Amino acid sequence: MIKILIAEDERPISDLLCLALTGEGYRCECACDGGAAADMIERGAYDLVLIDIMLPVVDGYELLEYVKLCGIPAIFITAKTSVPDRVRGLRAGAEDYISKPFEIDELVARVETVLRRYGKDAGTIEFGDIKIDVRSRIVTKKGTEVALTAKEYDLLLYFYRNRNKALYRSQIYATVWESDYLGDSRTVDLHVQRLRHKLALNGTLVSVYKIGYRLDV
């Protein structure tokens, strides 16, 4: 399992990050100051560190230098929003720079991007009796491989990563087909029907009236 360290001294933000990333299948640990974060990195292996710049004891820039020596990618999450601050943070070696306040969905997407860059994206996803091997793009149900088309696979992964959320057909189409939605729902609907049939998702991949679909997990 991917392990992420959150170095953040504001407890509500730290808790929010931990809750959101744990919900995405990551294992999270938190440190309230830079010194504690460095100690935790020395004792344990992490795949990614999220760093607030204005940390007590050891600030984010100093912590980043230590993180880089350990070969761990890092993302700055900070209230310092000016362009010079962003440039300094990126030049210091952060893989990304996220300003507070932030949208949690965007933060999760940026975390996924950095992990993919380092070949550390989540290897497998499991829900119910379905298992998705992200690297091989193989989907199994009760241990038996299910043949999905490329778009069916992308659609399933998109639903899982946005599980328990009602998704508009236009959102689904724009993301999975990477094209503007022109109001014709047949493409999305047909692919959803196939997914339901192949993976027996009739009670899990549900229709949302006048909106689209939701994967209930």
Q: Are strands 144-146 and 138-141 parallel, antiparallel or unpaired?
A: antiparallel
Q: Are strands 48-51 and 74-78 parallel, antiparallel or unpaired?
A: parallel
Integer-rounded Cα radius of gyration of the chain: 20
Q: Which two tokens stand for residue 32?
A: 């309230």
Confidence at residue 123, expressed as pLDDT on a 0 to 100 scale? 67
Residue type, 73: P
Instruction: With cut-offs at 50, 70 and 90, classify the pLDDT of residue 100.
Output: very high
- Regarding whether 89 and 57 lie in a shared domain, the answer is yes
- Regarding whether 96 and 184 lie in a shared domain, the answer is no
- Regarding whether 170 and 96 lie in a shared domain, the answer is no
CA gap 128, 204 in Å, rounded = 10
CATH number of the domain residue 138 falls in: 1.10.10.10
Q: Which two tokens stand for residue 193?
A: 């029907």
The residue-averaged pLDDT of 177-193 equals: 82
- Regarding whether 82 and 178 lie in a shared domain, the answer is no
- Regarding whether 130 and 106 lie in a shared domain, the answer is no
- Regarding whether 100 and 40 lie in a shared domain, the answer is yes
As for how many domains the chain has, the answer is 2
The residue-averaged pLDDT of 133-155 equals: 91
The pTM is what? 0.61
pLDDT in tens, 191-215: 999 999 999 999 999 999 989 999 9
Query: How far is the CA of 22 from the CAs of 6, 30, 45, 204, in angstroms?
Result: 12, 12, 17, 21
Confidence at residue 208, expressed as pLDDT on a 0 to 100 scale? 95
The residue-averaged pLDDT of 124-128 equals: 84
Of 69, 93, 117, the residue at which a domain comes to its end is 117
- Regarding whether 163 and 74 lie in a shared domain, the answer is no
- Regarding whether 103 and 134 lie in a shared domain, the answer is no
Q: Residue 195: which domain range? A: 124-215
Phi, psi of 205 (to 5 degrees): -95, 95
